Structure 1
Amino acid sequence: MTTVENMSSVPASEDTEFGFKRPEMYSTNIANSITSYGRHVFVLYKTPEAWISHVEEEGLPQRFATLLKDRKSDLLVQTKLNVCEGGGSDGDVLIFPDMVRYKGIKDTEVESFFEDVLVNGKPWRSGREEKISGTFVFVCTHASRDKRCGVCGPVILERFVQEIGSRGLSDQISLKRCSHVGQHKYAGNIIIFSPDSAGKISGNWYGYVTPDDVPELLDQHIAKGEIIQRIWRGQMGLSEGVAEKEHEQRVVPNGNPVVENFTGGCCQGANGSVSCCQNENPKPEPVKKEGKCAIWFQPLDKEEMYLGAAVVGAVATIAMIGYTFFKRSG
């Protein structure tokens, strides 16, 4: 468990510019602000205090970042990369939603690891693999990249430490500081990887998080699987179109966001697709197939019925005129 000291509040001189009272807080609709992806890799490396602005441009993270860029087309799924604090375990790699930890990867081993695990989807030939469980919370505290993350992240982290401890959840929730996750203006930014009621791992992103949101994130999102819509940025595994639809279905008609369960029911299928049946118009079922063509029966609206009747009448009239002409000529 991450420990923090002397981070009880944001200095007043920084709060309005970089902290939770800055004017940009809540100024943007943040739903669907992440791109679609299916896997997240975290490389354990040093501490946030030692990270350069672009930490993926040095050491072990650089080796992973280069391969992700060069072999993007070879990957099984869209993959994101982040760095998180090592805590004495530099070189370990966490992979979600696989819930696997690979231990002590060296620079010279990155290529074989990448080939086996990320390209071919096989166990790493060198081993050193262990399954992980529980919930993982990553808080962006990358101060050298953006001061807003450096100011907000540590305070959010401290509140998590306090609340996790008071609830006796230290053995169930892993809390780690991580590198830039995108969109500094949404700081504080956090990502939560946790199992749903079926045991499937979902990765949910939150922005504009404040210390006051932490109890709700623990009690609602982590304990009950209920997304906190007002600060929700999106979810690993959802395409942009599906995420946008998901957001629209979680907003009541008066525009106020609602808290909604993401762990099952009609709002999330087994394959990760989202479909709220009570809000959708049912699609007609195909009743007959001939080759590649499908015949569909659909109810016609009033205009279509009138148009159809007019067409039928016109055809009948033409047929009658043709028949009369034929009789006379004969």
Structure 2
Amino acid sequence: MARRDREKALMLTNPSSSSSPITVSDPLDAEFGFSRPDFRTSQLAGSVEFYQRHVFLCYKNPQVWPSKIEDSEFDQVPRFLFAAVMVRKADMNKETRLTICEGHDGTETSNGDVLIFPDMIRYRRLTHFDVDSFVEEVLVKNGEWLPGTPERLKGSYVFVCCHGSRDRRCGVCGPALISRFKEEIELHGVQSTVSVRPCSHLGGHKYAGNVIIFGSKINGEVTGHWYGYVTPEDVPVLLEQHILKGEIVDWLWRGEMGFSEEEQKKSQEIRIKLNGETDVGKNAEELSQTHKSEKDTAACQSRHEVKGCCQGNGNSYCCQNPVFPEKLDNLDANVGATKVISDKNSSKELNSGIKSLL
């Protein structure tokens, strides 16, 4: 009987319509989209609250998501999972976020699948019968969930907030970014190593479009970088510069999983100093011109499996190796980091300047 109930619970359906809850038009864009009055008016760096683990439940699409996951009108799986995470939060030794992302039965991310970062694992087909045991074994005890087998995730995972029922700004901006990401991913031929999907509320709707990029370092460690105020014109830059080269796009960067707000700000200050940048607010059009001559190279590299970033990133500081002042003296020894200091004298001068900033 229990088995029959579980099989029935797995029979989920999705509306046949697209994941875009709102069709972008000029009036909507002017009020809620990339032309809205408050667009790019707030400081981005340091706007991500500290957390250490991100759990995504794949479930239906933004058109059927209520304003809040815990709302009674939402289906049992997301509602029960949210409640269980809240109840057991104090028992977890990792600060954990729960977010819904789009899921479609019969695809790579079916309804009930759970993606966990930085673990880079997927559990298949969670039902409301499984929620308590899943939270206990995986999120509280940091073990494996015995009814399921964890699958290793590879490549880069991009999530874009499209939660229109929570905030119209994300409902307008998100779908446009999803479409552009899919176009660029196909153009660069990296469908097997880069995936993008809409997700629910991330925090900071005023920064819409909001994007998170998860990916593995060369040594296997996973990072999660947040970007805000992203426009469709910025998408090629994020793909080519961040995902394929491993360089943080600082004028759009909000922060990183595992960093406190203050650490995020300091990390960016140091990175900008190391790269010799003076204008973090430069726009995507300017940077696109700078990288125009590199497009053919990036497209060529992207046809091969992306095993890690930091490949051929010139003089820019690698996004996967954030450095704080106390570690600057050993910068040249960091595996995977780009050498940015050519001699001891310049290193001492740079360290002195950075410490004075902090």
Normalised to the residue count of structure 1, the TM-score between the two structures is: 0.77
Pick the aligned partner of 1:143 from 153, 160, 164: 164
After superposition, where does 1:24-173 map in structure 2 within 5 Å? 24-57=38-71, 58=74, 59-88=76-105, 89-173=110-194
TM-aligned CA distance change 1:203 to 1:32, over 3 Å: same
Q: In 2, distance between residues paired with 1:14 and 1:169?
A: 32
Q: What SS does the corresponding residue of 1:62 show, helix, strand or coil?
A: helix
Pick closer, same or farther for the CA change 1:231–1:66 going to 2, 3 Å.
same
**In terms of Rg, which structure is larger?**
1
Match of 2:320 in 1: 263
Count of aligned pairs between the two proteins: 274
Name the amino acid aligned to 2:172.
V
CA distance in 2, matches of 1:171, 1:274: 39
Compute the displacement of 1:274 (Å): 8.4
- 2:229 is aligned to 208
Q: Aligned AA for 2:68? A: H
Cα deviation, 1:172-197, whole Å, max 9, x if unaligned, reads: 11111100111111000011101123
* Cα distance in 1 between the residues matched to 2:204 and 2:326: 25
User: Aligned Cα RMSD in Å?
Assistant: 2.5
Task: Specify the code of the residue in structure 2 equivalent to 1:257.
Answer: V
Match in the other structure for 1:197: 218
C-alpha displacement of 1:62: 1.7
Identity of aligned residues (%): 43
- Give the corresponding residue for 1:315: none
Measured against aligned partners, the alpha-carbon deviations of 1:116-163 in whole angstroms (never above 9, x if no partner) come to: 111111111212321111110011111111111111111111111111
Secondary structure at the residue paired with 2:42?
Answer: coil
Partner in structure 1 of residue 3 of structure 2: none
Does the 8 A contact of 1:196 with 1:225 survive in 2? no
Distance of 1:216 and 1:75 partners within structure 2:
37
Cα separation, partners in 2 of 1:120 and 1:153, compared to 1, 3 Å: same
Decide whether aligned partners of structure 1 residues 249 and 153 sit closer, same or farther in structure 2, where only a CA change above 3 A counts.
same
Match of 1:292 in 2: none
Q: Name the residue aligned to 1:309.
A: none
Unaligned runs of 5+ in 2: 1-16, 282-315, 330-346, 354-358
Partner Cα distance (1:133, 1:16) in 2: 38
Query: What is the deviation of 1:225?
Result: 0.9
Unmatched 5+ residue regions in structure 1? 283-330
Classify 1:111/1:280 alpha carbon distance in 2 versus 1 (closer, same or farther; 3 Å).
farther
Given the alignment, which residue of 198, 217, 222 partners 1:177?
198
> Structure 2: how far apart are the matches of 1:200 and 1:81?
21
Distance 1:126 1:161, change over 3 A: same
Q: Secondary structure at the match of 1:212?
A: helix
Give, as a single letter, the amino acid of the residue that structure 1 aligns with 2:220.
G
**Offset from partner CA, 1:212-250 (integer Å, 9 cap, x none):** 000010100000111100011100011222112112223
Q: Is the CA contact 2:162–2:174 (under 8 Å) kept in the aligned structure 1?
A: yes
Once residues 4 and 168 of structure 1 are traced to their aligned partners in structure 2, the CA distance between those partners, rounded to angstroms, is 23
8 Å CA contact retained: 1:26, 1:208? yes
